[in-house]
Structure 1
Amino acid sequence: MAPAMNDKVTDMGAIARNPAWLAHRYDERQDQIHLIHVDREQRASATFLTDEYLKSDPPLVVSRSAMLAEAPAPAPMHFIFHTAYCCSTLLARALDRPGMASTLKEPVLLNDMVGWRHRGGTGRQIAMVMDQGLGLLARPFAAGEAMIIKPSNIVNGLIPAMMAMKPDAKALLLYAPLEQYLSSIARKGLWSRRWARELLIKQIRDGAIPFGFDQSDYLELTDLQAAAVGWLAQKAQFAALLQSLGPDRVRSLDSDRLMADPAGSMAELIRHFRLSIDDGGIDAILAGPAFTTDSKTGNAFGAERRKDDKRQAIAAHGEEIAMVLHWAEELAKRFDVPMQLDHGLAG
């Protein structure tokens, strides 16, 4: 339960210094930040930092300038960018370790930057507020912790800007192999297929589909073809980021490799992010809830469960998946999109 607040905030400094007051939304019309009180335990238990998963009091609404005037210096910040259906939430949960790092799973404030852009916000306006917003998000719960932010993948169009704004930040580009990605969408049914189309629509608005489709072509795509086009567009963007930023700042990892070698992958990721971890810390992470329970359902989870889920999807939708996979591979060859990315974590 959040502390009771008067209509007029009298101690903005205390609010700004308390990381439990999460910078949740931005209203560009009023130039206001909406804060909600979410402590570390609540953040850890929430699948995502969205209203669907957070049960909070009405937000505390403050002016952006007032919040910035009192905000402390941000902590070191790093990012997990992803294609979805690739264990990104698992990684964010695994890295949230007191004394090492605090993590944010899909903060809505960054989604608001995308919405503002689609409503006609200028690049200069959005860049300034996003830079400041990232600073407000980077308030860890303990001194010395880094802040790891896992944005929603609808924010991927803003990755170049975020990496330019935060030159000391490092990033992981996490993706599922295409067959795994398509299997996950097919297995989860109608709403997942709809999500894939919604993502494609946002990518079209961002000008992120480099494959020469006409508007009418999109209407002819099946659900899984639409999903494959969205996946390929993200892979093309990730490949360009790896080339332009280099392996010191950006590394890649596919979810199959993560689940096949979780200890090696975690050790390399912790080194990449330059985090400090105590002896036995990685073993504790692997034995903890991130690697043993499903982040969305709380049910038992692990590498074998993920393989079983894929086998079930192939059994039910194998012909469709195989046809779309072949079609997508031909599209990737035509436009030189790599199916596997360079600069992978060594594991």
Structure 2
Amino acid sequence: MAAVSLSDRFAADAGLLPHMADLANDRMLVAQLGEGDYRSASFLDQRLLTDRIGREWVPWTALPDLGATAPHPHFIFHIGHVGSTLVSRLIAELADVLPLREPMLLRSLAQVAERIGRPESLWSPTLYRERLRQVCGWLGRGFRPGQQAIVKASSVITAIADDLTAGGGRALFLHVPLPRYLETILAGEASTAETLAQAPARMARLAGQLPDFPFALWQLAPVTRIAMSWLCEMASAQRTLPPADPRHQWMDFEAFLSDPAAALAVQAAHFGLSVDSGRIDTALAGPIMRQYSKAPEHGYSPDLRRQLQAEAAARHARAIGEAIAWVEATTARYNTLAELPIHGR
């Protein structure tokens, strides 16, 4: 995979995935995937790199800039653990869609964005804008003319959603009311541990959005830290994906589960996909709705989800109540947060 031949092939070959950036050395790990790899992968992160996946480090500058005419991907953003992988899998069954789930390269862009304008930034603001446009062009490629790339980002990427969508494309933002979010996270040890591990970074991001923020993470009980995570991601989305913009569709995942056929039709139309009701019914009747989307070898269903939520609600009732009260008090302090749907709409 020599750099010259890579550059020549890159624009036309969606199988060449810019997988991971080495920011310190300004280089990119390019992986060779088949279309089936994209469709099956729950995460385009380090778990993708099995022995059968060819890859090679190349200088960032060896990859071409596809220009302003490059197809732009659509995006699915979310607050975490709200069915984004499920929705991505279902949409990929509806039309000629290339799903890209949580590409690692977007995390590198988010890391750069956090430091833009600061002395330690590796990139200038101009270089950040140029490379962000370049990356969107790369992620927008398909295996065939007319194939639509739809990127399901990781939850922390919502912080730069406005940058990613500025050049074109539409966005779906998935969320749930705060009580359901708390119950969902607390229903699993892994989701609880993951959310608590991300709490320091989210606390810093939330404090950066709110003037005179009076709290420190050490003051918050564990369940309240999870509630703070919900508040951080919802506040980020309000800033980067304002719901009044017709390019941004906000959808409550609980509402999606109550009528998935109608919700999928709305989502497909938002992304400009031509889909008939029979295709939607077939996707919903298939195995996807009965699998754990991040690990399809395990069974899962909306009924099991509701059962686990109810058990978590009973087990953590007092801590959940205190966490919700903290969010209500915090949103009351800031006019910019007044419209967040804490209890749904």
TM-score for both structures, normalised by structure 2:
0.86
Per the alignment, residue 38 of structure 2 pairs with 43
1:196 maps to what in 2?
A: 195
Q: Which residue of 2 aligns with 1:290?
A: 288
Counterpart for residue 148 of structure 2:
146
Q: Distance in 1 between matches of 2:237 and 2:47?
A: 29
- Residues 1:30 and 2:62 are matched in the alignment: no
Matched with 1:79 is: 75
- Pairwise CA RMSD of aligned residues? 2.7
Identical aligned residues as a percent? 25
Q: Deviations over 1:81-129 (max 9, x none)?
A: 1100110111111112485311111100000112234462343322221
Map 1:111-190; keep pairs closer than 5 Å. 111-117=107-113, 118=115, 120-121=121-122, 122-164=124-166, 166=167, 168-189=168-189
Cα distance between partner residues in 2 of 1:272 and 1:127:
26
Equivalent position of 2:247 in the other structure: 249
Tell me if structure 2 keeps the 8 A contact 1:154–1:202: no
SS state at 1:234 partner: helix
**Is 1:63 paired with 2:59?**
yes
What is the one-letter code of the residue matched to 2:130?
A: M
Q: Distance in 1 between matches of 2:71 and 2:91?
A: 15
The verdict on how the C-alpha distance between 1:252 and 1:292 changes in structure 2, with shifts beyond 3 A counting, is same
- 1:45 is displaced (CA, Å) by 2.1
Ranges in structure 2 where 5+ consecutive residues have no aligned partner = none
Letter in 2 for 1:254: D
**CA pair 16-240 structure 1, distance change in 2 beyond 3 A:** closer
> For residue 12 of structure 2, what is the aligned residue in structure 1?
17
Alignment match, 1:333: 332
Task: Give the Å deviation of 1:163.
Answer: 2.2
- Cα deviation, 1:304-329, whole Å, max 9, x if unaligned, reads 12111201212322222222123322
Tell me the residue number matched to 1:259.
Answer: 257
CA drift at 1:70:
7.2
Structure-1 separation of matches of 2:267 and 2:105: 25
Partner secondary structure for residue 174 of structure 1: strand
- State the shift of 1:246 in Å: 2.9
**SS at the partner of 2:64?**
helix
CA distance in 1, matches of 2:21, 2:220: 35
- The CA distance in 2 between the partners of 1:91 and 1:302, in whole Å, is 13
**CA–CA distance in structure 2, aligned partners of residues 11 and 114 of structure 1:** 26
In structure 1, runs of 5+ residues without a counterpart are: none
The count of aligned residue pairs is 332
Query: Shift in Å at residue 158 of structure 1?
Result: 0.9
Does the 8 A contact of 2:72 with 2:139 survive in 1?
no
Indicate if the aligned counterparts of 1:84 and 1:176 stay in contact, CA closer than 8 A: no
**Counterpart residue number, 2:312:** 313
AA aligned to 1:148 is: I
Cα deviation for residue 225 of structure 1 reads 1.1
Cα distance in structure 1, aligned partners of 2:42 and 2:137? 23
Moved more, 137-146 or 233-242: 233-242
Cα distance between partner residues in 1 of 2:260 and 2:3: 49
Q: Is 1:241–1:250's contact at 8 Å kept on the other side of the alignment?
A: no
Cα distance per residue 1:59-98 (max 9 Å; x no partner): 2222333321579953342111110011011111111248
2:94–2:275 CA contact under 8 A, matched in 1: no
Once the two structures are TM-superposed, the CA of residue 279 in structure 1 deviates from its matched residue by 5.3
Name the SS of the counterpart of 2:174 in structure 1.
strand
Classify the secondary structure of the residue corresponding to 1:109: helix
Aligned partners of 1:303 and 1:157: how far apart in 2?
29
